[in-house]
């Protein structure tokens, strides 16, 4: 941990009691700040409040009182999910109070080698693969943190100058990380996500590009080279560009040719040996390989990881096989593009479970993928009628169910030996579940109840 005095004697407000917010509040006390912690909800667990207060932190719950904007805070550390049009946040913006996220705080105290990953899809898998690959050859600690569910600042506290930290960073986190400077940055892809938060696609792209804002030619931006738009986006970085591509050969980075993965013209391994299924996971592997090779990792270490790693929970996660049906949990597919790539990963007939929060989208974009890959659909949630319309356009049998749990026995009835039963909702979970993780866990529980087996 780097010693800094930036917060000594400063008055800091921490907004949000998530994992990152609680860790940030305690860290700020260690850094000499006078800390107030605020959450709009009242925690069900009183231990959270007790622990904060025991550390000398003033705690305010049950509201975001606008009066806090008049208390002279020097800095606000905001939970990434709290939008900037929140009245209290907007008041701080208006008066020019610096607003950062916990990722920025983590970067400020980090004293080692930083690799950071962002993108619309594939972030967590790429982050995990990158960390595992670098760790295979490392003499020092190699950890991961960030949007992957582990506090950046908490892990950064325990790492030294020779250690490596691989961080997954969301667009929400990056908006509040003005000085973050990874030596290696990865952009997996950019689609049109979170426009309810960012308002425009350009705002969303700009937030993602904060990952490379402070990079120089001595740093590296590893970026997907499979779309012209992403190639143009790369031109906005000052870093040395390292492309990865499943579709385009580029000797400057990692790519696929005739079923073989190459790094700068040298063979690494066949794509068929990657344990993770689907073209999207080939792309995730290519991104991780580029970062790993830039970090000095051997081909043997890369092969070991890619031939053994079976996936991140809720991200096209293999659950089990039962009576010749394969069950997959892809609850993290909260947008249309993620479900597209999930469907492309299977050469078997798919019984698809899909639906969720209605964000105003329609699903005509999925029709060609339904026609090619899906034999039947079970739809649920706020957008089930729109999802059903797309299924009807594709000529796929569609039935309605209450949610991702009740859909499991319905999917079983529609399946036959050799089929895949896939939860890939193409929508957020918040109409029925507090998170995609809960939705995926409940799906797995329903599969276990149906089969009488535990996930594998």
Place of tokens 């920025």: 104
- CA–CA distance, 343 with 277 (Å, rounded to integer): 10
Asked whether residue 339 is marked as a ligand-binding residue, the answer is no
- Local structure of 58: helix, strand or coil: strand
Q: Torsion angle of alpha carbons 353, 357, 359, 364, nearest 10°?
A: 10
DSSP string, 98-156: -EE-HHHHHHHH--SEEEEEE-SSSHHHHHHHHHHHHHHH-SS-EEEEETTTB-HHHHH
> Does the annotation flag 179 for ligand binding?
no
Sheet harboring 58-61: ordered strands across?
A: 58-61, 34-39, 11-15, 75-78, 99-100
Return the number of other C-beta atoms located less than 10 Å from residue 164's C-beta: 22
What distance in Å separates the CA atoms of residue 406 and residue 320, rounded to the nearest whole number? 18
Residue 123 assigned ligand-binding role: yes
Q: Where are the alpha helices (DSSP H) in 183-259?
A: 195-198, 201-209, 228-234
Q: Is the distance from CB of 305 to CB of 314 less than 8 angstroms?
A: no
| Torsion (CA) 315, 319, 322, 324 in degrees, nearest 10 | 40
Cβ-contact 329, 440 below 8 angstroms: yes
Total residue count of the chain as it appears in this document: 456
What contacts 268, CB < 8 A, 6 or more positions away?
Answer: 254, 260, 261, 262, 289, 299, 302, 303
149 is in an annotated binding site: no
- Has 120 been labeled as part of a binding site? yes
Closest CA to 430 of 331, 294, 342: 331
403 is in an annotated binding site: no
- CA 216-218-221 angle, 5° bins: 70
112 annotated as ligand-binding: no
Q: Return the H-helix or E-strand segment holding 354.
A: strand 350-355
Annotated binding site: 119-125
Annotated binding-site residue numbers for ATP = 119-125
């Amino acid at each position: 941990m780097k010693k800094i005095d930036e917060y000594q004697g400063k008055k800091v407000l921490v907004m949000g009691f998530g994992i990152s917010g609680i860790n940030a509040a305690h860290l700020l006390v260690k850094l000499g700040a006078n800390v107030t912690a605020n959450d709009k909800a009242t925690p069900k667990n009183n231990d959270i409040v007790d622990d904060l207060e025991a550390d000398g932190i003033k705690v305010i719950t049950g509201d975001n009182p606008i009066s806090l904007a008049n208390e002279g805070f020097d800095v606000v550390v905001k939970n990434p999910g709290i939008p900037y049009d929140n009245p209290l946040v907007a008041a701080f913006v208006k008066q020019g109070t610096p607003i950062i996220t916990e990722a920025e705080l983590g970067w400020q105290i980090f004293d080692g080698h930083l690799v950071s990953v962002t993108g619309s899809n594939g972030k967590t898998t790429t982050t995990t693969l990158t960390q595992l690959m670098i760790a295979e050859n490392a003499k020092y600690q190699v950890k991961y943190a960030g949007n992957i569910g582990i506090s950046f600042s908490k892990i950064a506290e325990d790492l030294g100058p020779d250690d490596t930290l691989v961080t997954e960073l969301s667009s929400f986190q990056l908006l509040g990380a003005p000085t973050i400077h990874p030596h290696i940055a990865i952009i997996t892809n950019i689609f049109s996500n979170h426009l309810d938060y960012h308002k425009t696609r350009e705002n969303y792209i700009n937030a993602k590009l904060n990952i490379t804002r402070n990079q120089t030619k001595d740093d590296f931006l590893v970026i997907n080279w499979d779309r012209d738009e992403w190639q143009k986006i790369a031109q906005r970085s000052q870093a040395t560009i390292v492309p990865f591509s499943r579709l385009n050969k580029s000797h400057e980075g990692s790519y696929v040719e005739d079923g073989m993965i190459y790094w700068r013209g040298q063979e690494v391994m066949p794509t068929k040996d990657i344990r993770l299924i689907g073209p999207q996971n080939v792309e995730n592997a290519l991104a991780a390989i580029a970062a790993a090779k830039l970090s000095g990792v051997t081909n043997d270490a890369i092969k070991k990881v890619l031939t053994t790693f079976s996936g991140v929970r809720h991200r096209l996660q293999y659950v089990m096989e039962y009576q010749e049906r394969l069950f997959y949990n892809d609850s993290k597919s909260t947008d249309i593009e993620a479900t597209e790539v999930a469907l492309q990963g299977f050469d078997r007939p798919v019984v698809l479970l899909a639906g969720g929060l209605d964000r105003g989208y329609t699903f005509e974009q999925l029709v060609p993928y339904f026609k090619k890959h899906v034999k039947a659909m079970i739809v649920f949630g706020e957008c089930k009628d729109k999802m059903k319309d797309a299924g009807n356009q594709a000529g796929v049998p569609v039935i309605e169910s209450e949610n991702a749990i009740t859909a499991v026995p319905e999917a079983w009835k529609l399946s036959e030996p050799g089929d895949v039963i896939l939860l890939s909702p193409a929508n957020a979970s918040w109409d029925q579940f507090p998170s995609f993780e809960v939705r995926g866990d409940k799906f797995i529980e329903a599969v276990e109840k149906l089969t009488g087996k535990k996930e594998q």
